[in-house]
A and B are shown apart, each in its own frame.
Chain A
Amino acid sequence: MTHVAASTQNTSQALLEIRGLHKQYGQLEVLKGVDLTMQRGNVVTLIGSSGSGKTTLLRCVNMLEEFQGGRILLEGESIGYHEVNGKRVRHSENVIARHRAMTGMAFQQFNLFPHLTALQNVTLGLLKVKKLHKDEAVVLAEKWLERVGLLARRDHFPGQLSGGQQQRVAIARAIAMKPSLMLFDEVTSALDPELVGEVLSVIKGLAEDGMTMLLVTHEMRFAFEVSDTIVFMNQGRIEEQGPPKDLFERPQSPRLAEFLKSTRF
């Protein structure tokens, strides 16, 4: 690293810093004060029983959900809201769109655009958000499709791809935008068992490349292998967190112990 780069970049700053996050749907409080810090290159996996707020937490990070209290800082920028004269104000839609482009998200249901080919799914954001030239966008998209093993399918429509292939294209679509943080929400839950492996190995590859990732998964063995930190959520709070080995082998919280017992490995 050059001297200039080192001095201009605040290396002590966390990539993602969530402080006191509160979220409610009407009267229902879903996140009750969540604190979470991620460093660049970290892989953090959220586990916890159904309804504990894992999906909601991910969706707050890229403002697919509004939140009522607390702060989310991504690369030092306040996501969703900022203070004006001591009052909490929602960012303009354009700022929020720019913040969303800083994170990539892969969904349980893939959500590929069915009217676009695999290649076009990946280039859309590059062309319209990153404003890349067509040729550049195609080169980049092809690179990522190749990375997920689907370059040969570049001109196929989502309807012509298997679930596993669709999910890999969806991951390529998100990653090609060069997000500083990737969010994965149970990306293998909708897949037939024999297709889970191909998607997990793509994610594992990204982790090895140093991609910063926040995951939700029920694949405990995978979580164990890929994560730096496991976070156990329970009823809208983080109950326990730590390295996979500690968490899985010596759970402190009785609820975590119970959760692990009820989960297949």
Chain B
Amino acid sequence: MYESPSWLHELWSAREALWSGFLTSVQCSILAILLGTLIGVVAGLVLTYGRFWARAPFRFYVDLIRGTPVFVLVLACFYMAPALGWQINAFQAGVLGLTLFCGSHVAEIVRGALQALPRGQMEASKAIGLTFYQALGYVLLPQAMRQMLPTWVNSSTEIVKASTLLSVIGVAELLLSTQQIIARTFMTLEFYLFAGFLFFIINYAIELLGRHIEKRVALP
């Protein structure tokens, strides 16, 4: 007598595709968060302390990207890079889009955190003879980073969610892998719920990590 295979059975046979999708999602998210944070910190510093002509291009970048849906951004990177003669694969194009997105948000977070510091902090630093970069490194950034940590964690989880958009350009991340499995098994609800659960795990881990760091660097 024929029995339709159970969901657990299908899950088990799809484990490799799911695992690889999961890893791809984690990989592109982490890459985008790290690179985007790097770009964002530089952009945020220039936006806060740069002269007009230094600020202008970063202002343009930040405003442009923040005003664009991530979906459009990812498509733009995918289709425009080759058109500009830049040969990158779908994964790279997707990471580029997410990175630009992350960078523009981090830039504003960094600028906000630096501008919120009391003016006296820079003045006291200068008064003991620290140079601008020393003041930045030893006094301002350590305080700004503490302040922006929760918002930064929040942006990071947004990147993880946005990484699902890479499925439309054919990157076999968790969502696309799941859709492919569903096309074969027709277990729509089960596998979407499972994928959702995995995304939750990633973001929950990021939030736990953030909270842990926050506690460790908290000031009395």
Which A residues form the contact surface with B (CB < 8 A)? 62-64, 93-94, 97-98, 100-101, 103-105, 107, 109, 111-115, 124-125, 128-129, 156-157, 159-160, 170, 173-174, 177
How far apart sit A64 and B120, CA to CA, in the bound complex (Å)? 11
Q: Is B69 an interface residue (CB 8 A)?
A: no
Residues of chain B within 8 A of A159, CB atoms compared: 219-220
In chain B, what residue has the closest Cβ to A106? B127
Given that A111-B118, A112-B124, A115-B143 are contacting pairs, would A129 and B130 also be in contact in the complex, using a CB cutoff of 8 Å?
yes
Q: Is B138 an interface residue (CB 8 A)?
A: yes
Which B residues form the contact surface with A (CB < 8 A)? 118, 120-121, 123-132, 134, 138-139, 142-143, 146, 219-220
List 29 A-B pairs, Cβ < 8 Å: A62-B126, A64-B127, A93-B131, A94-B131, A100-B128, A101-B128, A104-B127, A104-B128, A107-B120, A107-B124, A111-B120, A111-B123, A112-B124, A113-B121, A113-B124, A113-B125, A115-B219, A124-B138, A124-B139, A125-B128, A125-B130, A129-B129, A129-B130, A129-B134, A157-B220, A160-B220, A170-B124, A173-B128, A177-B128
State how many angstroms separate the Cβ of B79 from the closest Cβ of chain A. Answer: 45
- A174 engages B219 (CB within 8 Å): no
How far apart sit A162 and B125, CA to CA, in the bound complex (Å)? 21
Contact of A97 among B120, B123, B129, B143 (CB under 8 A): B129
Residues of chain A within 8 A of B121, CB atoms compared: 111, 113
How far apart sit A22 and B131, CA to CA, in the bound complex (Å)? 26
How far apart sit A98 and B131, CA to CA, in the bound complex (Å)? 9
Given contacts A97-B130, A100-B129, A111-B120, 11 further A-B contacts (CB under 8 A): A62-B126, A64-B127, A105-B124, A113-B125, A115-B142, A115-B219, A124-B139, A128-B138, A159-B219, A173-B128, A174-B128
- B118 engages A109 (CB within 8 Å): yes
How far apart sit A94 and B128, CA to CA, in the bound complex (Å)? 13
* B contacts with A: majority SS: helix
In chain B, what residue has the closest Cβ to A109? B120
How far apart sit A105 and B127, CA to CA, in the bound complex (Å)? 6
In chain B, what residue has the closest Cβ to A125? B128
- B143 engages A114 (CB within 8 Å): yes
Residues of chain A within 8 A of B120, CB atoms compared: 107, 109, 111
Given that A109-B120, A113-B139 are contacting pairs, would A100 and B127 also be in contact in the complex, using a CB cutoff of 8 Å?
yes
In chain A, what residue has the closest Cβ to B125? A113
State how many angstroms separate the Cβ of A37 from the closest Cβ of chain B. Answer: 23
In chain A, what residue has the closest Cβ to B121? A111
Residues of chain B within 8 A of A101, CB atoms compared: 128-129
How far apart sit A174 and B128, CA to CA, in the bound complex (Å)? 6
Residues of chain A within 8 A of B124, CB atoms compared: 105, 107, 111-113, 170
Residues of chain B within 8 A of A63, CB atoms compared: 126
